[in-house]
Copies of this chain bind each other. A is one copy, B any other.
Amino acid sequence: MASSEYPASTHTPRYLTGDAAGIREFLDKFDVFLFDCDGVLWSGDHLFPGTNETLDLLRSKGKQVVFVTNNSTKSRADYVKKLEGLGIPSSAEEVFSSSYSASIYISRILTLPPNKRKVFIIGETGIEQELRAENIPFLGGTDPAYQRLITPDDYKRIAAGDESLLDPEVGVVLVGLDFHINYLKLALAYHYIRRGAVFLATNIDSTLPNAGTLFPGAGSMSAPLSMMLGGQMPVSLGKPNQAMMEAIEGRFRFDRARACMVGDRANTDIRFGIEGRLGGTLGVLTGVSSREEFVEGEVRPAAFVDRLADLLGCE
């Protein structure tokens, strides 16, 4: 949904496909391009034709390219492998994932007391790797000790605040996509938050696109906790939350007026760029949003193309 705090778009986005002069003019406005990935550069395991040539074009013009992903199951290093597996040369410095965003937020923005620095994770290895890189201690996550059923003894120990089950040094609960989600982890996360831990999420996407359809997303992992907590939502460190934009800006130190967000979803990617007051936004029609959504919707990009590779038409 569109942000209720932001006025609806009223302009007509510029359609750049086939407009060589328009593309040149558009590209010249920006030094940095932030790319949503799935639906823009590829779909699933299928790289769109011309993706690499387009990235090469931008790089040859001296543009900084950043791959921005809400995927929390992968670390930046994992993501570079994925990019390279699809044939896209890249470096970890160009990747900005929600697991990295969350780790930076915890280490550099949250001010946790020294005895409350541990993070209880609902999520996969991507989060663990990024927390480790920031020297943040953690528990939960992929630890096999948590891959089990809750027992009658667990109820009593949790109720009693048994420190062998509820580590008193946990000051943060971080929830990302977890293929190993279970009742015990949800119960522990709930009790950590009740005992004062900060409630964070790598992102709150309700669904995860895969194989051409949808599966439970990271937001579906935090939904039970929000319900148990009477509606309390986690602070999300992924798109379209501006905490992620701030983290990207902190990392790349770019001029927002000279940056452009490229994405296929009006309500997440384009909104992320507009609310981040970037100089521009570019929609592509190879993913979720339709031409109608871009042209008549509440959240409209500054410009759009049928497909990313249409930018090659500037030459």
Interface residues of A (CB under 8 A from B): 149-150, 155-156, 158-159, 178-183, 186-187, 190-191, 206-207, 210-217, 219-221, 223-228, 230
Contact = CB atoms under 8 A, between A and B. Distances in A.
Contacts of A219: 227
Given A179-B183, A181-B181, A183-B179, A228 B216 contact: yes
A174 to B, nearest CB: 18
A54 to B, nearest CB: 28
Contacts of A210: 155, 159
B213 A158 contact: yes
A223 B221 contact: no
A150 B215 CA distance: 11
Contacts of A223: 223-224, 226-227
A214 B190 contact: yes
A190 B216 contact: yes
A181 B180 CA distance: 10
Contact of A227 (B178, B179, B213, B220): B220
Contacts of A206: 227-228, 230
23 contacts: A149-B180, A150-B179, A155-B215, A158-B215, A159-B211, A179-B183, A180-B182, A181-B186, A186-B220, A187-B215, A187-B216, A190-B214, A190-B215, A191-B213, A206-B227, A207-B228, A214-B228, A217-B228, A219-B227, A220-B224, A220-B225, A220-B227, A223-B224
Nearest to A155: B211
Nearest to A157: B211
User: Which of A180, A215, A223: most chain B Cβ within 10 A?
Assistant: A215
Nearest to A181: B183
Nearest to A219: B227
Contacts of A159: 210-213
Nearest to A1: B230
A191 B211 CA distance: 13
A160 B223 CA distance: 27
A234 to B, nearest CB: 13
Contact of A180 (B179, B183, B190, B215): B183
